[in-house]
Structure formats: structure tokens, C-alpha cells
């Protein structure tokens, strides 16, 4: 037989003999007929083995769920009845002519992944990750995630951003603090990148607009539904901006392009989770200080005035949805005390910065802002943070030789999927998550 085709291509071959390869997800016996629900990466289809094929039946008799098989068969329309009782042909089946087993499971299956709903706790789900990924509802998460990555890259390129890849093994922790992983690098110590921040600013100074889809490592001992220690960041940096508003406007445009594309191409995946697409409306902007007042007035929630916690973010998300009809909100002008040293101070009050967080359905998915581009101002800011400018010599060289006003963002890809589908934990949106206790599978 010739070249294998995908199940999704079979409608083009009705009445013809084709070769298919894939997994058996379910077996049903009806009298002398044997039926298999059969799937590959594209779709699923029903196989039927008729009693006049004894050589095929002899092979099929032991086949069960998750056997990997090759099939040669006739593509036929399967007659069905509609509501009026009339016969319609709205589906296909493959009448098997030849069958061969490629591989078979060893031992009992740990989970029945053919079920539409897997009622598993998170630990069981992740401990059996490699097998559970065969479930069509679980696969839908990562089909949508792939669409997110594709659309983000496309949207950036359309806007003139150049894709870059920055190093993840560094000689010093990018943002200082204690949330970095230290590793042995030959005869010295090195660190896993907490952010591509310094390198994307360096690239911006040459290419003006750059973006990266890359791994980020954070050594934060969190035990929450929204944190992991290794995630995929969607970063960007853009030069020659007039203000932080330019950065937010560009990010908003990209977010809305992602929303449109998922709405157009991800309907099947969204339906698995009963998920709704965000409305495409202008994203409201609220100063952090105003958000603090809203929490106090609307929810009787007190904060320390410098930031809001996860509960506060959720409340602000509810308030913005009720008030503006938006699933997104920019919180702006964070205090300099809680922002990195490279954050541009606000002209009207240098105690605050030209920075923002982007919340989606009550959770932070992005952080960004305008950066300091003047050499001497940056040195002063480093010193005010109690740091030594000599430790940032390579970084300072970017600005020593001239850099335009610029800004950018870091966007957490998995959190977008988590909130879009309403997943209980971000770990469900990570193919093989890494947290404080998990290094396998």
C-alpha cells in the first residue's frame, strides 16, 4: 500500500482504499462485527471489521485500547438518521481490509484515557502525564497553547519585531534578589536566567524591536495554583517610544490579535472546557493607587498601599468586568521601591514608575514598562537600590554608547491558557511542569 494519510484527510477519499496509522482508543464488539474507535494526531474515525475477513479478525481478536496499529481499508459513508428519521450520511467509517500491530501496551493501563472527562486529582494527572496526554480534552489544552505561541510570534513579526534567542546560563542573576537557581558551570558558579531583560534591551539597541519566546526560571518556593519554577515567557522590547503608553498600546494590539485568532481557530478546544473568549474592547488603565482605593471602597479590603495581593487582583478583575465589561486591565504606576532598578521614574513623582501589570480575569499575566535609557540616571538608580554598578558593567555598556527611549514586557504564556480555559492550576497548562517538589516526569 502507498503513503499513509491522516484521518482528517479521509473525506477526500470516500470510496477509495487508504492507509492509516494510529491508536485504538476504544473497542466494541457487536455480534460478529468488531468496531474500533481509532485516532491519530488529526482526528478520530470508526473502524469496522466484517466477519468475511477471517485473517483480519484473527489479528484483531486481542487488540484493545492504546494498541498502535496500521490499517488499510475502504473509506465509506456511514448512514445515520436525522431528527425526521431520514437517512443522512454525516460521518465516515473505515472498512478494514488489512490490519497489522505496530506495538501493544505492556500490563494494565493506569487510566482510561478514552473517557471524555478524566476525574483525576492533580498529582495523579501529573504523575501519569505522558499517558494522560492521549486524552482528547487534555490534548486540547496544548493545541490551544500551540496556537497562542504561533499567534504571538506572528503578531510580533507583523509589527516589526525581530525574533531573538537569549542565553539562559548567566554569570550573574538578572534581577538580583534570592529567586534564582545557582548551577555549577565547569570551574565556577552560574545562574539560570530569571528573565531575558538585559539581553533583549541590548538587542533593542541594535534592532529597535525584538521579541523572544523562551524559558524563564524562578527559584520561588511557591505552593499556589498560579506559580511554577520554569515557564515560557513571551517577551518583547521596543525602542523610540514616547511613553509607557506606547508599550501598553502595542501589547494590547497583540493581545487582541491573539483573542481573535483563538476565537477563529480554537473553537473546538474552547468547547471542551465550556470556555468563553474575551470581548475585544479597549483595555482599561487604572493607577495602582486607584486600585487600592477601589479595593477599600468596594470590597472593604485593606492593602499596604504599595502592591495588591492575589486576592486583590481577583477583586479588581471582578470590578473591571462589572464596570467596563473587560476581562483585562492595566494596573499602572507601581512604586519604585518594588520595581527593578531599570524602571523609568514618573516625572510627576519619582517615587513611582512608568510601569504596569496586565491582569486577565483577576490574575497577573504580564509585567512591563518604560526603562531608563540614560547612562548616568541608570547608575544612580542602581546605587539607590544598594547595588554596585561595577557588577552591571556589560549591561551599562548598552547605554554608555547611546540607547533610545524604550520599553517592553514579559508575558506569562501558561497563565493565559489557565485563565482562558478555567483550569484549576497553571500546572495543567504546562506540558511537564516543574515546581518545588516535582522534577519528573
Spell out the residues 6+ positions from residue 121 whose beta carbon is closer than 8 angstroms to its own: none
Query: Which three three-digit cell numbers place residue 170?
Result: 548567566
Q: Which residues on neighbouring strands pair with residue 368, listed in sequence order? A: 356, 409
Phi, psi (rounded to 5 degrees) for 70 = -105, 140
Active centre residues (catalytic): 218, 220, 226-227, 364, 367, 415
Q: Which of 254, 9, 277, 268 is nearest to 150 (CA)?
A: 254
Distance CA 329, CA 321 (A): 9
Amino acid at each position: 500500500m502507498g503513503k499513509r494519510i491522516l484521518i482528517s484527510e479521509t473525506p477526500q477519499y470516500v470510496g477509495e482504499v487508504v492507509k492509516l496509522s494510529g491508536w485504538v482508543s476504544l473497542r466494541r464488539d457487536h455480534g460478529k462485527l468488531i468496531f474500533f474507535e481509532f485516532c491519530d494526531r488529526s482526528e478520530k474515525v470508526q473502524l469496522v471489521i466484517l466477519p468475511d475477513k477471517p485473517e483480519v479478525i484473527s489479528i484483531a481478536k486481542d487488540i484493545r485500547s492504546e494498541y498502535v496499529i496500521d490499517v488499510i481499508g475502504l473509506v465509506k459513508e456511514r448512514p445515520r438518521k436525522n431528527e425526521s428519521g431520514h437517512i443522512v450520511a454525516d460521518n465516515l467509517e473505515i472498512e478494514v481490509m488489512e490490519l497489522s500491530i505496530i506495538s501493544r501496551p505492556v500490563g494494565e493501563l493506569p487510566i482510561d484515557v478514552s473517557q471524555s472527562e478524566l476525574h483525576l486529582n492533580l498529582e495523579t494527572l501529573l504523575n501519569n502525564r505522558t499517558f494522560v496526554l492521549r486524552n482528547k480534552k487534555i490534548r486540547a489544552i496544548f493545541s490551544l497553547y500551540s496556537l497562542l505561541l504561533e499567534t504571538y510570534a506572528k503578531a510580533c513579526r507583523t509589527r516589526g519585531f525581530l525574533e531573538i534567542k537569549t542565553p539562559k546560563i548567566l554569570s550573574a542573576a538578572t534581577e538580583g534578589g534570592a529567586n534564582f537557581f545557582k548551577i555549577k558551570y565547569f570551574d565556577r558558579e552560574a545562574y539560570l536566567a530569571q528573565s531575558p531583560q538585559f539581553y533583549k534591551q541590548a538587542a533593542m539597541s541594535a534592532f529597535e524591536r525584538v521579541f523572544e519566546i523562551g524559558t524563564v526560571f524562578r527559584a520561588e518556593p511557591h505552593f499556589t495554583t498560579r506559580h511554577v519554577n520554569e515557564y515560557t515567557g513571551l517577551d518583547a522590547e521596543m525602542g523610540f517610544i514616547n511613553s509607557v503608553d506606547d508599550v501598553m498600546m502595542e501589547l494590547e494590539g497583540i493581545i487582541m490579535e491573539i483573542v481573535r485568532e483563538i476565537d477563529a481557530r480554537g473553537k473546538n478546544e474552547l468547547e471542551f472546557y465550556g470556555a468563553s473568549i474575551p470581548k475585544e474592547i479597549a483595555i482599561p488603565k487604572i493607577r495602582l493607587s486607584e486600585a487600592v482605593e477601589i479595593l477599600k471602597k468596594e470590597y472593604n479590603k485593606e492593602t499596604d498601599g504599595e502592591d495588591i495581593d492575589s486576592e486583590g487582583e481577583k477583586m479588581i478583575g471582578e470590578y473591571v468586568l462589572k464596570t467596563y465589561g473587560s476581562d483585562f486591565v492595566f494596573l499602572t504606576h507601581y512604586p519604585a521601591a518594588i520595581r527593578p532598578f531599570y524602571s523609568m521614574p514618573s516625572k510627576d513623582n519619582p517615587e513611582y514608575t512608568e510601569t504596569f501589570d496586565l491582569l486577565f480575569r483577576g490574575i497577573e499575566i504580564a509585567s512591563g514598562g518604560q526603562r531608563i535609557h540614560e547612562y548616568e540616571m541608570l547608575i544612580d538608580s542602581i546605587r539607590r537600590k544598594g547595588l554596585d554598578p561595577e557588577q552591571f558593567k556589560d549591561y551599562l555598556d548598552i547605554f554608555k554608547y547611546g540607547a533610545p527611549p524604550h520599553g517592553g514586557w514579559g508575558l506569562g504564556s501558561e497563565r493565559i491558557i489557565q485563565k482562558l480555559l478555567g483550569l484549576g492550576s497553571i500546572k495543567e497548562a504546562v506540558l511537564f511542569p516543574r515546581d518545588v517538589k516535582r522534577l519528573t516526569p
